[in-house]
Structure 1
Amino acid sequence: MESSSEVQRGSQKMSAIGLIMNQLRRKTSFTERRQKSGSFFWPGESSERRKGAEIKESDDADAKATDPGTDPTTSMDMEITSVVGWGRVKQFLEKLGKKPDSQVLSLSHCDLTATDIVELATLLPFLTQLEVVDLSWNDLVGGSLKALTFKLQHVGKLSLLRLCGCRLTAQDLEALGNGLEAVPLLELLDLSWNAGIGKANLHCLTSRFLPGCNMRELRLVDCQLTDADMTALGRALPVLTNLKHLDLSCNKITAEGIKEMSSSLHASHGLKTLKLHMCGLEEDALSSLGDVLKFIPSLEGLDVSGNKAARGGLARVAKSLALLTHLSCLDIHLCGLTDHDADALVEVLPSLSALTELNISSNKALGDRLQALLPTLPLANMRRLLLNNCGLSTASYQALGSAMSSLVLLESLNLSWNKSVGGHLKLLLGALLSMCKLQELRLSSCDLTTEDVLHLASAAKCGALSNVKQLDLSYNGGVGDTGWAGLLAEAGGLKSLEQLDVSLRPSTPTPASPWIPNLLEALPTLPSLTHLALQHWVLRQDERDKLDNITEKKKKGFLLECDKS
């Protein structure tokens, strides 16, 4: 059985029955399948006649729009056509449950079929102001994209196109490539989670990139790219002179593949962000990556996280990392870093004076080395420090506490799954009193005590948490009722709070009655709160009713995660 992640990422494997059903669905549009009101045509007309009539109407509108004549009658006809055309757009979108917008077309997860794509294509002449198109997660779009790209000349202002998880084929890529000339302002192209793009098919698109095109961001996450695809991408880089962000995450990339890309990467010397998350990079691939980085000294963000096979290979890329003097974000979480890697990191960090974000989470070997790493960081510039599940030792945690006073711009701190925090939270909170910049604080599964949470309440009362938007205190079953009640009593000091999570582990359901009154009293004083997680707390029916009554009065979109009574 396929995993849910494989299905989500657009796996091309389908059963024989699934293929037959999809062919049947392709012949029936979304609007026909959910017909509730009259269609654009009489019921007896065939789909071919409908398609022909729509295309003829669209072509007539195009001819009128380009006619140089100045006949007032013609102008009036054009205005009428425009009004009628917009009415068709509204009707099409409303049947999909969407509101019409002349600049944004967002139809992700709409179960679109090939017939819908043909119908949408006939509407593009009436959407000349369109800037954003998102057709993601409509897996029946694959194989029918040509009908849409043939009409791209009508949306010349398009700047963002997303086609994630659409089961795109080589023919779709070729059609898209042929249509790129019609959208010269396109800046972002996201084709992630389309397995058909890889398997040596990427050249169908990249070979049609135009010199000097405006493309600034290209996302190809989980597209099953091969070495041949990396070669095709490398050949396109000299054309993509404006490219700033490249995301190749979740593709199995070999050292040879990186070499193929690096051969032309010097042409993208303006690249700002490179993401290679979970690419199965091994030590030799890191060596090749080091050679790549030499060509992009302007790089500001590098993500090589989730590459466990590179364990012990950080030293191979360390010298090149030191050249990235503009690097502001470094993500190396879940890389199985060793003591040798930690030593290499200590040597590199002093050169990264522009660093503002560091994610070294889920590297437990760093738990004893943090006291050596912290002095090498530009602490006064740091905005995000993610240290969750690092196995912080007591000495490392104390070193962090001492460094907190220097982290004056810190906005996000994640210490979840570090047991050394429990019973010692006051060590960190003292420095917050003079900062008040923190927006995200995550302390999930930290063995917090009642006293820890009361210290948190005191910090809130003093205004030290006034900018906090996300507070995660989940999986801390050692906190008593007094702690939760005390924190909620100081809800006024959490005026910016948007997300609060105090869930328990599934194995430890506990009655919430002692502090629920404090929560009910606090909720109206938290105007920005949109997400409250209370999972595995036991609520009486009357308590749940009161909670529902208050949350229903919150603005639309409020999310309450709570077990059913």
Structure 2
Amino acid sequence: MSIFRAETPTVKQALPGAAETTPCHWRVKQFLEKLDKPPSNKVLDLNNCALNAADIKQLIAILPLLPDLEEIDLSWNDLIRGALQPLTLQFSHTQKLTVLRLNNCRLTAKDITSLGVALEVTPYLEILDLSWNNNIGGNLSSLTQKIPKGYHLKTLKVTDCSLTMEDGKSLAQLLNRIQSLEELDLSINKNIGRSLKSIAQELKYVSGLKVLNLHMCGLKQDGFQCLDDAFQYLRELKKLDVSCNKEMGGGFRNSDAHLANLRDLEVLDLHQCCITEEDMAILTEAALHLPELKILDLSWNKCVGGNLKLILKALNLEAELQELRLSSCSLVDKDLACLALVIQDGPLTKLQKLDLSYNHHISDQGWAMFYQRVGALEQLSELDVSLRPMLLRDCREWFGELLAALSKLPGLLELDLQGWVLSTSQQKQLESFNWDNERNVHINS
């Protein structure tokens, strides 16, 4: 390390704006040019660069020449595996570092320990993304135990890291030491649900949390109930994703619906949660009247079918909903009729994305009536009415209404009609629509 310092004349000579003749400038510039990366003294983006052993050796050598570095991204480089320790030893030269991304680097247990030590010399780190490193599972404590109380970490992502129940407990112990946390992503860690009670109890220490992602985390009924108790402290939460937790169904039954306290919530993702009729009743009595809600995903919850009227009534439609996803919800004609009436009345005028795919119970008459009203959604950019693969149906009974609706949707960019059988004449009419109206609607059929 002393050799690198001796080669560093001044901070300003490291990169652009410095004297081009300095040896350290050329070492950094040549390294980045070889990888087809622009020179920068603040951002080192080597994502998916297929770094080899020689590249990593050069990287270790140039890090001390970049004292103003604020962001490092080494994601999707397999050979980082086992080489993190010599890299992190140079982090003492990059104390301004605020962002570190190491996605899918095949990190080892030894790498995780080295990273924990390195955090002690990166006091300003705000974003740490370690997603898709399976060997973190069972070893997370060697990282979390090194993070001191008062550390200003704002984002922690450990998606699909094979986290264990013990990892969940060590994470829970960390939460009261990093009270500045704003985003926590634990998605695709199926065993985290077993330690969710421990995590939920400590969420009160991160009351400024804005994003909580628990997609596919093995949540069960009691797990969601523990989470519901924590919602009363998370008044600043903007995004909540508890999707693809199939054993969560029925978890609203014994909750106090603290979900309704999330007055700043903009995104609520409950798709594929096997929500029950009883859950739906609780949701529609208290939890969906959220004044800032912009995105709601209830897809793959069959009990939505026949109950869409209650859901739409429960929603605070003045919240200017922008995205509504109701794929595979067993919707029937009366659900679509209710949606059409709400569209006609005007509360959904800000809607940009509407997903009604895989709802094969809706009749041709139901679709025709819907297309007669959908033209009121002037800001709609994406509409998906696809059917399930291999479930082919004729669309001639409502094709005319669809074609007429397209001319009333000036913002539409994408229309998904997969599963509907279009005749040659109908296909030509859709092609002619784009040409005749100077539009560029991408139609998937």
What amino acid maps onto 2:254 in structure 1?
A
Say whether the 8 Å CA contact 2:83–2:111 is kept in structure 1.
yes
Name the structure 1 match of 2:324.
413
Name the structure 1 match of 2:75.
136
Alpha-carbon RMSD across the aligned residues, in angstroms, is: 4.0
Say whether the 8 Å CA contact 1:217–1:246 is kept in structure 2.
yes
Deviates more, 1:241-250 or 1:295-304: 295-304
Name the structure 2 match of 1:162.
101
Name the structure 2 match of 1:186.
125
Counterpart Cα distance in 1 of 2:166 and 2:192: 17
1:195-219 superposed Cα distances (whole Å, 9 cap, x missing partner): 33333x3344334435543321122
Say whether the 8 Å CA contact 1:449–1:479 is kept in structure 2.
no
Name the structure 1 match of 2:298.
387
Q: Relative to 1, partners in 2 of residues 1:343 and 1:110: Cα closer, same or farther, differing over 3 Å?
A: same
Cα deviation for residue 163 of structure 1 reads 0.6
2:186 pairs, out of 231, 248, 252, with 248
What amino acid maps onto 1:93 in structure 2?
L
SS at match of 1:515: helix
Is 2:431 the partner of 1:516? Answer: no
Write out aligned runs for 1:366-381 (5 A): 366-367=276-277, 370-371=280-281, 373-376=283-286, 377-381=288-292
Counterpart Cα distance in 1 of 2:400 and 2:2: 68
Name the structure 1 match of 2:26.
84
1:215 pairs, out of 153, 158, 170, with 153
Write out aligned runs for 1:7-406 (5 A): 61-62=7-8, 64-65=9-10, 79-81=21-23, 84-85=26-27, 87-94=29-36, 98=37, 100=39, 103-124=42-63, 127=66, 130-199=69-138, 201-210=139-148, 212-226=150-164, 229-230=167-168, 232-233=170-171, 236-237=174-175, 239-251=177-189, 278-279=190-191, 281-282=193-194, 285=195, 287-289=197-199, 291-306=201-216, 310-311=220-221, 314-315=224-225, 318-322=228-232, 324-333=234-243, 334-339=245-250, 341-345=251-255, 347-367=257-277, 370-371=280-281, 373-376=283-286, 377-392=288-303, 395-403=306-314, 406=317
Cα deviation for residue 190 of structure 1 reads 0.9
Q: Relative to 1, partners in 2 of residues 1:422 and 1:219: Cα closer, same or farther, differing over 3 Å?
A: same
Is 2:358 the partner of 1:472? Answer: no
Q: Relative to 1, partners in 2 of residues 1:472 and 1:107: Cα closer, same or farther, differing over 3 Å?
A: farther
Q: Relative to 1, partners in 2 of residues 1:143 and 1:517: Cα closer, same or farther, differing over 3 Å?
A: same
Say whether the 8 Å CA contact 1:162–1:191 is kept in structure 2.
yes
What amino acid maps onto 1:88 in structure 2?
Q
1:273-297 superposed Cα distances (whole Å, 9 cap, x missing partner): xxxxx33525xx5554553345555
Name the structure 2 match of 1:487.
402
Counterpart Cα distance in 2 of 1:100 and 1:452: 58
Highest relative contact order (Cα 8 Å, sep 6+), 1 or 2?
2
1:9-38 superposed Cα distances (whole Å, 9 cap, x missing partner): xxxxxxxxxxxxxxxxxxxxxxxxxxxxxx
TM-score by length of 2: 0.79
1:303-354 superposed Cα distances (whole Å, 9 cap, x missing partner): 4454556246644554454555555544444343455x34334754555555
SS at match of 1:242: coil
SS at match of 2:193: coil
Q: Relative to 1, partners in 2 of residues 1:188 and 1:86: Cα closer, same or farther, differing over 3 Å?
A: same
Q: Relative to 1, partners in 2 of residues 1:157 and 1:490: Cα closer, same or farther, differing over 3 Å?
A: farther
Say whether the 8 Å CA contact 2:182–2:206 is kept in structure 1.
no
Cα deviation for residue 439 of structure 1 reads 2.0
Name the structure 1 match of 2:354.
441
What amino acid maps onto 1:470 in structure 2?
E
Counterpart Cα distance in 2 of 1:81 and 1:482: 74
SS at match of 1:143: coil
Residues paired across the two proteins, number: 433
Instruction: Tell me the percent identity.
Output: 28
SS at match of 2:331: helix
Q: Relative to 1, partners in 2 of residues 1:177 and 1:399: Cα closer, same or farther, differing over 3 Å?
A: closer
What amino acid maps onto 1:158 in structure 2?
L
Q: Relative to 1, partners in 2 of residues 1:407 and 1:142: Cα closer, same or farther, differing over 3 Å?
A: same
Say whether the 8 Å CA contact 1:161–1:189 is kept in structure 2.
yes
Cα deviation for residue 444 of structure 1 reads 0.9
Counterpart Cα distance in 1 of 2:178 and 2:222: 34
What amino acid maps onto 1:107 in structure 2?
L
Deviates more, 1:389-398 or 1:477-486: 477-486
Unaligned runs of 5+ in 2: none
Say whether the 8 Å CA contact 1:451–1:483 is kept in structure 2.
yes
Q: Relative to 1, partners in 2 of residues 1:314 and 1:236: Cα closer, same or farther, differing over 3 Å?
A: closer
SS at match of 1:140: helix
What amino acid maps onto 2:33 in structure 1?
Q
Counterpart Cα distance in 2 of 1:171 and 1:306: 27
Q: Relative to 1, partners in 2 of residues 1:317 and 1:395: Cα closer, same or farther, differing over 3 Å?
A: same
Say whether the 8 Å CA contact 1:134–1:163 is kept in structure 2.
yes
Q: Relative to 1, partners in 2 of residues 1:390 and 1:58: Cα closer, same or farther, differing over 3 Å?
A: same
Q: Relative to 1, partners in 2 of residues 1:196 and 1:485: Cα closer, same or farther, differing over 3 Å?
A: same
Say whether the 8 Å CA contact 1:496–1:528 is kept in structure 2.
no
Say whether the 8 Å CA contact 1:440–1:469 is kept in structure 2.
yes
Name the structure 2 match of 1:18.
none
What amino acid maps onto 1:474 in structure 2?
S
Cα deviation for residue 159 of structure 1 reads 2.1
Q: Relative to 1, partners in 2 of residues 1:426 and 1:323: Cα closer, same or farther, differing over 3 Å?
A: same
What amino acid maps onto 2:418 in structure 1?
S
Cα deviation for residue 128 of structure 1 reads 5.2
What amino acid maps onto 1:468 in structure 2?
L
Q: Relative to 1, partners in 2 of residues 1:113 and 1:204: Cα closer, same or farther, differing over 3 Å?
A: farther
Q: Relative to 1, partners in 2 of residues 1:302 and 1:208: Cα closer, same or farther, differing over 3 Å?
A: closer
Deviates more, 1:484-493 or 1:185-194: 484-493
SS at match of 1:218: strand
SS at match of 1:514: helix
Q: Relative to 1, partners in 2 of residues 1:309 and 1:89: Cα closer, same or farther, differing over 3 Å?
A: closer
Cα deviation for residue 416 of structure 1 reads 0.9
Q: Relative to 1, partners in 2 of residues 1:93 and 1:422: Cα closer, same or farther, differing over 3 Å?
A: farther
Name the structure 2 match of 1:541.
none
Deviates more, 1:375-384 or 1:486-495: 486-495
TM-score by length of 1: 0.64
Say whether the 8 Å CA contact 1:384–1:413 is kept in structure 2.
yes
